[in-house]
Amino acid sequence: MKPHRVCFLIYPGVASYDVAGPAQALAAAGGGRYSVTIVSVPGGLVESDCPGLAFGSIRANRANGSIDTLIIPGGTDAPTAAKDATLVRLVKRLAARSERIACVCTGAFLAAEAGLLKGRRAATHWRYCDQFADRFSDTELERDRIWVQDGAIWSSAGISAGVDLTLALIEKDFGIAIALEVARELVVFLKRPGGQSQFSTVLSGQIADAGGPLESLFAWIANNLGADLRAEILAERVNMSPRTFARTCVARIGVAPAKAIEIMRVQAARESIEQSDTPLSAIAARYGFGDEQRMRRAFQRQAHITPSEIRARFRL
Using one digit for the tens of pLDDT, what is the confidence trace for 54-103? Answer: 999 999 888 888 999 999 999 999 999 999 999 999 999 999 999 999 99
CATH number of the domain where residue 247 is located = 1.10.10.60
Of 186, 209, 225, the residue at which a domain comes to its end is: 186
Same domain? For 130 and 209 the reply is: no
pLDDT bin (cut points 50, 70, 90) of residue 315 is low
Contacts of residue 221, defined as CB under 8 A and 6 or more positions apart, other chains included, come to 202, 229, 234, 261, 264
- 3 state DSSP class of 255: coil
93 located within any domain: yes
Same domain? For 169 and 226 the reply is: no
Between 183 and 83, the more confident residue is 83
Same domain? For 67 and 179 the reply is: yes
Answer yes or no: is pLDDT of 180 > 90: no
Same domain? For 161 and 262 the reply is: no
Same domain? For 134 and 205 the reply is: no
192 located within any domain: no
- CA-wise closest residue to 192 among 210, 214, 165, 213: 165
Q: With contact defined as beta carbons under 8 Å apart, do 201 and 253 qualify?
A: yes
110 located within any domain: yes
- What's the number of domains the chain is made of? 2
237 located within any domain: yes
Q: How far apart are CA 222 and CA 284, in angstroms?
A: 15
Count helices and strands (H / E) in the chain. Answer: 15, 10
CA distances, 170 to each of 143, 227, 304 (Å): 24, 39, 22
Answer yes or no: is pLDDT of 122 > 90: yes
Of 186, 212, 235, the residue at which a domain comes to its end is: 186
**Domain boundaries, position 99:** 4-186
Q: For a pLDDT cut of 90, what percent of the chain falls above it?
A: 66
The model carries a pTM of: 0.72
Same domain? For 36 and 132 the reply is: yes
Q: Which range is least confidently modeled, 122-136, 224-238, 242-256?
A: 242-256
Same domain? For 145 and 207 the reply is: no
Q: What is the CA radius of gyration of the chain?
A: 21
